[in-house]
Homo-oligomer: A and B are copies of this chain.
Amino acid sequence: MNQMTRIDPALETRMANAIRALAMDAVEAAKSGHPGAPMGMADVATVLFNRFMRVDPTDHQWPDRDRFVMSAGHGSMLVYAINHLLGYDDMDMDQLRNFRQMGARTAGHPEYGHAKGIETTTGPLGQGITTAVGMALAERMANARWGDDLADHWTYVIAGDGCLMEGISHEAIDLAGHLKLGRLVLFWDDNGITIDGGTDLSTSTDQKARFAAAGWHVQAVDGHDRDAVAAAIEAARADDRPSMIACKTVIGFGAPNKQGSHDVHGAPLGAEEIAAARKALNWPYDPFTLPEDVMTAWGAIAQRGAQARADWTTRLEGSAHRAAFLEAQNRPDAGALRNAIAAHCARIASERPSVATRKASEMALEVVNATLPNTVGGSADLTGSNNTRSKGQQSVTPGDYTGSYIHYGIREHAMAAVMNGIALHGGFVPYGGTFLAFADYSRGAIRLGALMGVPVIHVMTHDSIGLGEDGPTHQPVEHLAALRAIPNLMVFRPADAVETAEAWEIALTAPTTPSVLCLSRQNLPTVRIEDDAENRSRRGAYVLRSTPVERDVTLIASGSEVEIALAAADLLRADRINAAVVSAPCFELFATQDRTYRQGVLCDAPRIGVEAAIRQGWDQFLRPDDGFVGMTGFGASAPAPQLYAHFGITAEKVAELAKSLIEGGK
């Protein structure tokens, strides 16, 4: 055994039964929940924690702790039971008694941030596996930088059949196998049961062969034979590939009449079956009551973890990497970044390049990556199109994790979830690129990052019909609205190279909010030509061009359409109409400004929104009688300038509409 040499089998059985009892009692009390998975996987989890896991409940953020991810998040009671047994101070028995109740830390699915020892939010199936891949990758990247003394831990995942059926699991498994993430161990809860019935209703895949095909080390064990499970974990740790251990289990193990059937998957057992289970498990204690020997045994795990953490702290104090390591645990240095970005913006304002904002993003990244040591870039196989790689960024390759650029492959969903995992692990600030239209593929993970408050940065180029010939499948029209709809997500659509750099700065320093940077394929002029030191994008929207006298109309635009709004203002000026132009790079930030500021930006004159996308989401700017120039349906395949003309997103149309609104208002 790796961590302990002598195991008392009878005691370890009782340790596992404690999980089972707490799970069935809590689900019963809640009158809802999933007892099947915690009861089925109690033996595996007990072996894992009792013989291997290193966590310290008194310092749940200890960077070198092992990570445990319950990808089958509906089995949340497994996590809560274990965390109670380990003695986390925020997981007392009342939390378990109030499973799934208002205000309890014990939500229906494990929610990151609700309680210590929950490494990530799970529930939407497949997310946990993929987030864990990010954690296991971050561990190796940390190890490559700071050595075994500081980064030498494991990531363990429990996944069910559902996790393995979801498409994202394929992306995760492929990527982990390719990158040889040997510190990742996945337990497949092979219980043969899904909600609709037996897994044979919908799958015939040989999961072991599937994982082997992706380059994994694969074993199969009886998930109730604890020594076999332990031996498999030993073998998994000895292999340099990621490991999958197929654990044949009985769902709801211990409930004598219901175990092994889908009745036990997602419903309380009922008083009668619980009584029968208590008898079958030889567990004579009252609900939510634990015997002393079991508490002591679980407490020993925590003590072992505390000792490991103390040893690690000693190593850290003596380490040459101490300062760099500690710096990497925090969010980026906002002061240093401000200075670098301000100097960059001043240069842009002076040189006034005409570049696509995806190119401007690359220019900003040269500054960012030179300033911040722990950014980690990447792309879903669109590096040259997303412009996500700065000079000198080396690729992370199988077995060599010193680089800071990840080839995520054509796996948008995994990229987003892996970035969540890297950020949750700590030590790195991840960003990754794809086309904006493919936010549809990664949306599940983007949302989960927003829900958890994990500040990853999604770089999404080719952000409108402006991408041209690739046509409507690739042209976002509703994606801005759909992303703006997600709570706690900042969606940036910068107008030029200055705003692009500003967006990077805001995104990198946001403590608990992920960001999406929507960037153009096509060239755009520099519109922020005054040399001002202020990050004006922080306001979300601001007056880019004011009027000498009271304005007649306000033109509000984002991204590539700011140029059009400015040209429309020029046209209107020729007709002695005073049009102010507002640039709106981030709706979410504008919504947080006070009423006075917002009114000062928007004023009372007629307003026109200009964005090569649908109107939905513009209601904070536009009143019913205001105008909008944008899209009402899908795009088309043609060169970009022709598309803008075809869909009527032009300075002339904006000017025309402005005149008719002013006329109508008189």
Contacts and interface: CB of A to CB of B under 8 A. Distances in A.
A448 to B, nearest CB: 7
Interface stretch (A13-21, A367-375, A424-432, A477-485): A477-485
A270 interface: no
Contact of A485 (B108, B478, B638): B478
Interface string A98-121: 001111100111010000000001
A381 B195 contact: yes
A632 interface: yes
A590 to B, nearest CB: 14
Contacts of A638: 100-103
Interface in A442-491: 443-444, 447-448, 451, 468-474, 477-478, 481-482, 484-488
Interface residues of A, number: 108
Nearest to A482: B482
Interface in A590-609: none
A382 B210 CA distance: 25
A484 B633 CA distance: 12
Interface string A183-217: 00000000000111000011111110110111100
A475 B434 CA distance: 27
Given A170-B170, A196-B381, A447-B440, A32 B469 contact: yes
A165 interface: yes
Contacts of A618: 619
B481 A196 contact: no
A661 to B, nearest CB: 16
A338 to B, nearest CB: 29
A411 interface: yes
Interface in A199-248: 201-207, 209-210, 212-215
State the majority secondary structure of interface residues on A. Answer: loop
Copies in the complex: 2
Interface stretch (A346-354, A402-410, A504-512): A402-410
A102 B407 contact: no
A472 B100 CA distance: 11
B383 A196 contact: yes
Interface in A360-392: 379, 381-385
A534 B618 CA distance: 35
B471 A478 contact: no
Interface in A389-419: 395, 398, 407-414
B178 A171 contact: no
A379 B196 contact: yes
Contact of A407 (B100, B202, B414, B472): B202
A49 to B, nearest CB: 24
A60 interface: no
A261 to B, nearest CB: 13
A205 B213 contact: yes
A456 to B, nearest CB: 16
A381 B107 contact: no
Interface in A547-571: none
Given A165-B174, A398-B204, A451-B473, A196 B384 contact: yes
A597 to B, nearest CB: 17
A424 to B, nearest CB: 15
Interface in A150-199: 161-162, 165-171, 174-175, 177-178, 194-196
Contacts of A102: 636-639, 642-643, 646
A87 interface: no
A381 B166 CA distance: 11
A623 interface: yes
Given A102-B636, A167-B169, A171-B167, A470 B203 contact: no
A444 B451 contact: no
Residue from A123, A161, A616, A633 with most neighbouring chain B CB atoms (10 Å) = A616
B487 A632 contact: yes
A41 interface: no
A125 interface: yes
A285 interface: no
Contacts of A472: 107, 111, 451
B171 A165 contact: yes
A614 interface: yes
A100 B178 CA distance: 36
B488 A633 contact: yes
Nearest to A624: B623
Contacts of A622: 619
A447 B634 CA distance: 10
A73 interface: yes
B196 A174 contact: no
A218 B276 CA distance: 49
A630 interface: no
Residue from A209, A484, A485 with most neighbouring chain B CB atoms (10 Å) = A485
A30 B470 CA distance: 11
Contacts of A486: 478, 482
Contacts of A411: 165-167, 202
A639 B108 CA distance: 10
A104 B451 CA distance: 44
A496 to B, nearest CB: 25
Contacts of A175: 202-203
Contacts of A525: none
Contacts of A111: 471-473, 637
A471 B633 contact: no
Residue from A109, A443, A470 with most neighbouring chain B CB atoms (10 Å) = A470
A38 interface: no
A46 B623 CA distance: 58
A617 interface: yes
A213 B164 CA distance: 13
A441 interface: yes
18 contacts: A100-B638, A102-B637, A102-B643, A108-B471, A109-B473, A123-B471, A167-B167, A170-B170, A174-B204, A175-B203, A196-B382, A201-B395, A201-B409, A206-B214, A209-B213, A477-B487, A482-B486, A618-B619
Given A174-B205, A178-B205, A616-B616, 6 more contacts: A111-B637, A124-B437, A167-B168, A177-B205, A441-B444, A623-B623
